[in-house]
């Protein structure tokens, strides 16, 4: 549903992330496009826009966010998005292309930007 858009406040709000979730990994079109396996950096990757990052900080209990490419922030909003997370003392986990290694921790919530899935 939101696969081809950057992660904005509207996208984050539509996911209905439950209170109490502390860590979340976002699987996006980046994985489907196999961007992590390409030799050249691709500036068209999906990432957080500043308003999406700010919405997460203001409206959830999350303290660690991860995404499936080299940066959690969209290329067009690189510094502002990172600053929102870092000023809020969040942990950032870029390059989460191997989600299976994170599934071992049962407190993770994996968000395939099309579907909210609880890994319990």
Domains located in the chain, CATH noted:
9-94+105-114 (3.50.30.50)
- pLDDT value of position 94: 66
| Joined tokens for residue 69 | 């490419």
- pLDDT value of position 113: 46
Mean pLDDT per 10-residue interval, the chain, length 120 residues: 76 92 87 88 94 96 88 92 89 63 52 42
- pLDDT value of position 97: 56
pTM of the entire predicted model:
0.77
The rounded distance, in Å, linking the Cα atoms of 47 and 26 is 9
- pLDDT value of position 89: 84
């Amino acid at each position: 549903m939101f696969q081809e858009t950057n992660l904005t406040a509207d996208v984050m709000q539509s996911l209905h992330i439950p209170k109490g979730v502390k860590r979340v990994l976002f699987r996006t079109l980046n994985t489907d496009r196999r961007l992590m396996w390409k030799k050249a950096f691709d500036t068209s990757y999906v990432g957080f826009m500043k308003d999406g990052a700010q919405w997460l900080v203001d409206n959830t209990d999350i303290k660690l966010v991860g995404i499936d490419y080299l940066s959690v922030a969209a290329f067009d909003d690189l510094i502002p998005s990172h600053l929102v997370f870092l000023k809020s003392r969040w942990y950032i986990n870029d390059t989460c292309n191997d989600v299976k290694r994170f599934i071992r921790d049962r407190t993770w919530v994996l968000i395939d930007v099309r579907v909210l899935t609880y890994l319990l």
